[in-house]
Every structure is written in structure tokens, then in C-alpha cells.
Structure 1
């Protein structure tokens, strides 16, 4: 009886409250319909998602479609399927054999270069140019990784005056090695003529090598060059009633350039052994007494001078013997 009384105590909602409840219901129903609509057509609905169709960073995948990138692609390496280590990957996606190319720098490899000339003479042969008319062009063989290490390096060189093959360490000496002159008329090895064969020395050939004044006369001797040296052994007399000199005196001169001393760097004078005789023995053309050691040298121009240091008062009649040798090609200290 009491329960019936408690239920009967509830009041019916007012018209306004009923309308409000109806409005809330309609709103909840609309939201439920929207949710059901999204679940029906949603792309990422769990039952339709296939991860194999997406690019995932930490999974090895094979992409069969074509991808176009507008920005640079940076990677540690690019590997072509079925590619080999003897192929080069081209920008159009193809490949080409390494043998079809001649790289500018290919370390630790043996290469062969084939030159296929066409009708244009500028494309025939291997041409090594020089960027200045008077500069050299050359090829070095047997080089080391260290460019300052010249050990075992050979230099094939073309200059404005000769073609030369020599050790690179000797490139400061233009007479060392195998040399062909500019006119291609002679071949030398270490300054010794190989072709054409030199003319054998003839009697009195010294007279065509040295020159002297009217007051000097050659008594005996020889002057010759051999294996990069000049050898002098001669006696000359001087006879001038008006000598009157106490300074350097040019006794004779070497006028052939190949017999003159040459220098790499600053030239200097080369001393020679000489003895002066001031007393002639009557009746013996080559016999003199009164030997006096005297200074003597030859300069870069081939002039042989005496009395530069001694400063003796030279007599009207005297004789000088010069017996010595000198190197034709010299390296200056500086």
C-alpha cells in the first residue's frame, strides 16, 4: 500500500519539460547517425587499412609504382636490381659498361686507351698541349703519390729548342739524357753526339777551336772535348815589343760555343793550371827557362786570361803552358 502511494506521488512532466527532453533525444539521435555514417565510409576504417600499400621508414619494401620527386634525394648508395660492379648507372635509368668510358682519374687499375681518329686532323692521336708558346709540355712516368718524390721518375719533355728524355731529378740540366735538337739534325746522349757520327779529329784541329792575337803563336798542344769535359794541353808564345802590361791579359779565346763552359744559374770563372816562362833557350824553339807559376782561368765567354791576380809586369817575350781540364756543363751553388 505504501509503494503504491509513493509511485502515485510522482508528477507528470510539464509540456515544456517534454519538449526539452524530445529535443535532447533528437540531438543524440542525429549524432549517432553521423557516427554511423563516418564508420561506413571512413578510409581508415580498420577493416579496410592495408599497411603494405604505404611506405614505412623502418621496413624493407618493394615499390612497383613510379614516384616523382621535385627535391634532391640524398642516400648513402643507390643499388640497381641485377646491377654489377662493372656497370655505371645512367641518369635515364639505364646502365653502361665501365669499359665504354675513360675516367680522368682511375686509381689502382690497369687501363687501355684506344684512339679512333676521324677525318679532322685535330682529333687524330693523343695531343698534349701547352698554354703558352714558349712553355714546355711533358709526360712523367713512374710517379709516386708524393709529387715531391722524384725517385725513379722519368720525364719526356718537349721544349722550344729540343725534345728530351731524362730522369726528372736531372731536369735542371738541359744536356743530360737523350736529346734531339729542334731541327732534328742531331741526337745526343749526356751531351755526346750519337747521330750523325762526329767527324774524327784531324791534325791541327785545335786551330779551328781557339783564337788568339797576332802577337801569339801556337808551338804545340791540343784542345779537345770528350764526355762532357774540355781538355787543354798547349804551349803558346807571346812576342810584342810594346807589351808593358801589369794586369789581366787574354792569352787566347775558345770561340766554339759547345766548347765554352756553360752554367745552370750564375756563371763563374774556372781556374786552370798554367806556367809562364820568361827565358827562351836559343836554338831550341820549345825550350824555355825561368818557370813562373801564374794564375789562369776561363770565363763563360771562353776567354782564357792570365795575370789577373799576380799582376806581374809581363815581358815582351814570354811563353805560357796550360795543362788542365774543365767541365762543360756546371751547376752554380745558388
Structure 2
């Protein structure tokens, strides 16, 4: 079967790239011909733009010129990250040649397929423009074509009342509906959409051995891996404390983390996987850093995000019975490495059963 998927594409994020790759790889491994639609709406196309001005107060001729002059060296350096991610995508992610920028363009020049899948990632997160874009609900696909959502994420516990009619209308057109979080099931049930299954993110569809044998490279050992989107001070404190106690280095992929001994910000997603696999401990507020920590059976702690998108991590941790490793301001406690214990016999059994259920959903839907 020829399948087209639509997701957050080429957004230069490790998790987004890997989940996109994983879904295509699984679909192709079971005999389908799958590729991603080359969909780049304006709100997901602002990466590595040399002449953009983020703050309106600098958008005046002299101030703008000074702003861009000061930003230029760093932006030029950032092209290394873009180049490495683009090479990863070119090698590993099959993508249609036609570039689409909005839902109307997709309708007028429909990518030809037997089935269309939206997901995974935060495509329905209305906290961002993703969740307000009809294209991510397969609105461009004719009513007589097979439409499936796989592990689509709202990323929040609720959506605004004014968006509920839009969401209900668009999702009601989808033939087989699955979401990534149990909170997503609840959101849709409250809208009167009941034929919904909670499934795992696509990265779980590929085995630990597959990820290891395909992408992992030697990156050293005796380090803590930090993936922190908020520059969380509690995370920093725990990382520095454990690193000092155990004589570990601190590695990261976050541009803004200045306390790390080594920063892999410019490297492609395969490096991200290697950093998690070889680490002694993962400290993160990233959903996919958590996911691969579970896949690779690592020690980890998860910290709440400042943005209201903690549902993603919380639901996965509840599912795998690891929510006691979620650190918040309410349980700001002193932690030592030997206190971080995960029973992976239990976790792996839960994940295996859920992976089988997730694969069965796709098989039946297709």
C-alpha cells in the first residue's frame, strides 16, 4: 500500500526527526511504500533564517542592522547543525519532492496515496499553531480516502472551548484514530469521539537492538546526559551534584547549557541516540529523551517544563510505572545516583505489550 504521512517535518529537533523516521521505517518493514509529505507551513519554517528579527523593538532600520550584525556570527555557526540534520534527513527520511506550505496547496495538488497518516509528535498541540492547522488533521484528504492518525499528540490536558468545534469536526473525518497520551483519549471522549486508542510514540515501534545497530557510535562514557529545554535550575543543581560525587562529566545537546563539559548541539540525531545509550544518567524535560531512556533501559530523572506541555512525559511515565522519577517543585529533594532505580523487567514487559497493541492498531487500520 502506498502511504503518505504528515508530521512536524524538518524542524531540526532530535525527537521530531527520529519519530518521523521510525514510523516510516516500521511501515516499510511490514511491506508498505511510505514517505513523508514535504509540508513546511510558515510557522515551522523559521529555522536558521539569517535576516529574521525575533524582537519587534529591533525592527527599525539602524537597530535592525546592528541586531543582525551582532547575531550574524552565531547564526553562521548554527548552519553546522542545519547541515548535519539535513544530511540525516536526506539519508534516512523518504520525502516527497513537492513542497507544500498550507492546507489549500495540499488540496489543490493532492499527494497520491492509498492511505494517509497524520502523526506522531505534537501535531494537535493548540498551544502552538500546529493544533490549529487543518492539514495536520488530514483535512486536505478527500472523504473517500483512508485517513489514520497515529500517536497524534495534543501535548496538554485540555483544549480551549473555542477550538473544540474545529477539532471535533476535523478528527471526525478520520477513519482510524489513535493518540499518544491517555489525556488525548479523554479530550476526544469529551468531544463525543469514542473510537480512540492510546498507542506508543513511533520510536517504540523499532527495537532497542535496531536503534543500537543502525545508529549508535562510540561517544565515550562516565558522563551524565542533560537535555533541558528550559535551563532548569533544579536540573542543573542535581546534575552538578551527582557529577561531582561520581566524578562524571556533563554532556548536552542544548545550545544554552553553559555548565556542560561538552556540548553536541551541532550534531545530528544519531549522536543524540549515542549520548543517551552510553550515559550513566539522563536528566531531561524532553519527551523523546525520556522515550529513549526507557528503550535503552537507562537511569533517568524527568523535570516539568515551564510551558504547559508536561502531559506528554507524565502520561508515558504513568504508563510505564516510572512516574516516581518525575521531579517537580513540590518534591524538590536531594537525590543521589543510587536512589534512582528502575525495574526494567516491569517496564520492558509493559512496553512490549503496548508495542504489540500499537502495531496491531496500524495493521487493522490499514
TM-score range, shorter chain: under 0.3
Where relative contact order (Cα < 8 A, 6+ residues apart) is larger, the structure is: 2
Q: Higher helix proportion, which one?
A: 2
TM-score, with length taken from structure 2: 0.20
Q: Higher strand proportion, which one?
A: 1
